[in-house]
Amino acid sequence: MDDVKLLVTEADFDPGAEIALLSAGAGDSGALTTFIGLVRGATDGVSAMTLEHYPGMTEREIAKIVAEAQARWTLGRVTVIHRVGRLLPGARIVFVGVAARHRAEAFAACEFLIDWLKTRAPFWKLEETATGDRWVEAREADDKRALRWES
Amino acid sequence: MKIVYFAALRREIGVGEETVTPPSDLATIAHLLDWLKGRSPAHAKALSAPRVMVAINQDYAGLDSAIAAGDEIAFFPPVTGG
């Protein structure tokens, strides 16, 4: 698991440093893809968001999802960082980075990881708005995106 | 047996964690859910939500999954991370 970095943390991350780490250990990888999720801005009337998770199970589920990706594609280094706690609009929430031999695997594995992370890893978002707090509802569209990988 | 709740369920029930000793003839998650609903009106309402997810010892489980005395059992709404 030296090739895998998993982190659930309140702290922000440095995307440049994470990309440097992924590419430094690339070995025979020829492609590196990343996904970064952000707190959507004020257009939704959201002034802040608090991410809650299930310590222990979160890390286990992310490790399982990464193992599943490694079973499907030949991957180099993989990094998944997910923040928890209170975040403001524009803040980085999640980083997924995948190195692979060719771009097709790198793109596919990165999309698979974020799709499954969204529907399997036990995180919940509580939004703060002018009219009070509200829990983000799970989206059917996210379930459908994750289920595409079942076939 | 340790029961943990997250997100909307935790807020509605008012606690994040409770230790319970259900009758020994409760064999599955479905039985446990029915029994927990009897603990308070808040339990009954929160645990009757249309999609309650469950984990036993930090692995996803289902209504038919078997339970044991020392288990940590979690109930939570559909997840919304990423």
Q: What parts of chain A have a pLDDT lower than 70?
A: 1-2, 25-26, 42-43, 151
Whether A54 and B76 lie within 8 Å, measured CB to CB: yes
Give residue A1's pLDDT: 45
Number of domains in chain B: 1
Residue B81 lies in a domain: no
| CATH code of the domain covering residue B6 | 3.10.20.30
Residue with tokens 């692995």: B59
Residue B60 lies in a domain: yes
Architecture of domain A4-150: Alpha-Beta Complex (3.90)
Give residue A126's pLDDT: 96
Of A37, A135, A137, the CB nearest to B82: A37
Give residue A2's pLDDT: 63
Q: What is the ipTM of this complex?
A: 0.94
- CB distance A86 to A125 below 8 Å: no
Residue B34 is part of which domain span?
Answer: 2-76
Mean pLDDT of B42-71: 96
pTM of the entire predicted model:
0.93
Query: Which positions in chain B touch A124 (Cβ < 8 Å)?
Result: 6-8, 76-77, 79-81
Of A114, A135, A137, the CB nearest to B82: A114
Give residue A25's pLDDT: 67
Residues contacting residue B13 through CB under 8 Å, at least 6 positions apart:
B5, B40, B42, B43, B46
Residue B82 lies in a domain: no
